[in-house]
Chains A and B, each alone.
Chain A
């Protein structure tokens, strides 16, 4: 279990030097297969640039699903086979270039939020509130898409990509639907609950058919227990890496929070990963927007907000590892007994 940080593009010198100075050795780069079709040599160049800073390119995260050109893969359209062939070339290029992990999603509408929420001290967290009784949003594709057809297309894809992933040694895994709601704009949110992920990992039983475990999104799933999901999937080696962020509640109404002010007990979560034998990495993912912060070339949140989350992640990883030899945290009901005051 180690910290990881996610960046956009090639990563300027400042962000890579920041990572290495703070001891965050694992880098995730947003990108991967899609219309731009990055080539083998470009992946090698990217990896070597990151390694030249003393860092490791530990994962690439992205997703072709919001890319209109690939929608026949998601919905089983006429160009499905042709597009999958194109995607598998890209997956092979990544794997051969030494990228160990590819995280993607199955969200044709990408991710979504509504009104942001002012949280502590004037900082801002993304928010989601939706009035399901009065759903007036337009249909993304002009009609309701069929969930069964989408599952068929997904299974077809997983059976095609997993052997290729195994061949090139690159684990592939899917990010949950965020927000985890039944449909948005007539498009079913396939990965909105635990049952969907159980179904996913059973399509092909392989470590290379896995999950991009966005703990934030799993925490937003109504009716699910976050610790149970961590335990279930981590103990089966289905978690590639973790988006370690916190939220105030579950869909359809929640907002993002600072890492230790949401409803999820992050210490308990980290202990669950540890006890489930998880050995992967943790990224901060989205961080609150802090006033006066400086832009960070990655996901939501600037340098200050992200480094706060990174400090917290480093501390909680170190603590849950070390507490094992002490038999757990300090028993505060017994603390201070015998003190002179």
Chain B
């Protein structure tokens, strides 16, 4: 088990240098600034991206999400489905050719959102979601049934996974966040335990896997109950089957329909217990801090809040496994 960190829409020097100092072993670039050429990402641009990370002594382990307009018809069954499917599969080939071992994405359209922020203590801020406030307009101008949405996902998994295997890439899907069944008129699929089990059964391969956003899984209805489908049960289920690429290790106050994000060690999830489950089931991926809470004097990106989460995660990995991340003892 290793320590990772992600950076969104950028490869800025300050943050990569910050990661190098904190000992980050796996870098994740979310929606990196790669130009979209004819609907695809080209090999030359991906190699350049990888080299940019290498310059800091860091390793680019995963790319998380392409630009949404490369894949919204693919996810939501639009008229350009076939074209986007073909371009995304070619993009996967290029990611593999560039030597980047993981590609993950949120299988949802529209993407991540919240309805506001709340005070999580003494002026610190966490994002919040309240289904009563949620009010997305219809974002697609075509009809999409739930059955058709599943067909789209199945086609993607069955088409892309063998290509990914051939090119040495593991694919992982991120749950919908917030995990609710319909947003903006688009039926979402990956909002509960059952549908994730169904996802990994579409194609039996370690390359058809999950980006286990533990934050989002913790927000699933019932994840806080001792009902056989708790957050701890879900982690165990997917790790045991070797279907987790890496983990967004963040904490929340509760589940849908109303929750907020909070400090990593202050939510309802017992992070120590969670970390034990990854270790006990032989997880060999990495953990990253994901969203930063807002604290006084911090940068927009949250360099302070992320340093705290990163240090906390490092200590949990090391204490649970009784090893050193850096072979220090």
Q: What separation, in Å, do the CA atoms of A20 and B296 have in the docked complex?
A: 10
Which positions 272-319 of chain B face chain A at CB distance < 8 Å? 272-273, 276, 279-283, 295-297, 303-305, 307-316, 318-319
Q: Is B14 an interface residue (CB 8 A)?
A: yes
With A22-B308, A263-B328: A315-B316 Cβ-Cβ less than 8 Å: yes
Question: Per a CB cutoff under 8 Å, which of A122, A264, A336 touches B282?
Answer: A336
Q: Is A195 an interface residue (CB 8 A)?
A: no
Q: Kindly name the residue among B18, B57, B266 whose own CB sees the greatest number of chain A CB atoms within 10 A.
A: B18
Question: Per a CB cutoff under 8 Å, which of A267, A304, A313, A330 touches B303?
Answer: A304
Neighbouring B residues of A109 by C-beta, 8 Å: none
Q: Is B145 an interface residue (CB 8 A)?
A: no
With A315-B316, A329-B320: A310-B311 Cβ-Cβ less than 8 Å: yes
With A260-B315, A311-B310, A319-B320: A21-B296 Cβ-Cβ less than 8 Å: yes
* A326, closest chain B residue (CB): B276
B122–A54 touching, CB < 8 Å: yes
**Minimum distance in angstroms from B161 CB to a CB of chain A:** 15
Which positions 38-71 of chain A face chain B at CB distance < 8 Å? 53-54
Which positions 287-312 of chain A face chain B at CB distance < 8 Å? 288, 290-292, 294, 303-305, 307-312
Neighbouring A residues of B323 by C-beta, 8 Å: 332
Neighbouring A residues of B295 by C-beta, 8 Å: 18, 21-22
**Minimum distance in angstroms from B155 CB to a CB of chain A:** 25
Q: What separation, in Å, do the CA atoms of A79 and B320 have in the docked complex?
A: 55
Neighbouring B residues of A14 by C-beta, 8 Å: 296-297
Q: What separation, in Å, do the CA atoms of A340 and B237 have in the docked complex?
A: 11
Interface size class of B (residues with CB under 8 A): 35 or more
Which positions 55-101 of chain A face chain B at CB distance < 8 Å? none
Neighbouring A residues of B325 by C-beta, 8 Å: 260
Chain A interface residue count, Cβ-Cβ cutoff 8 angstroms: 59
- The stretch of B19-27, B30-38, B77-85, B224-232 in contact with A is B19-27
**Minimum distance in angstroms from A4 CB to a CB of chain B:** 15
- Encode B251-282 as 1/0 by CB contact (under 8 A) with A: 00000000000011110001011001001111
* B17, closest chain A residue (CB): A291
B21–A312 touching, CB < 8 Å: no
Q: Is A168 an interface residue (CB 8 A)?
A: no
A259–B263 touching, CB < 8 Å: no
B17–A307 touching, CB < 8 Å: no
Given contacts A304-B18, A312-B314, 6 further A-B contacts (CB under 8 A): A21-B295, A260-B318, A265-B324, A315-B312, A319-B316, A326-B276
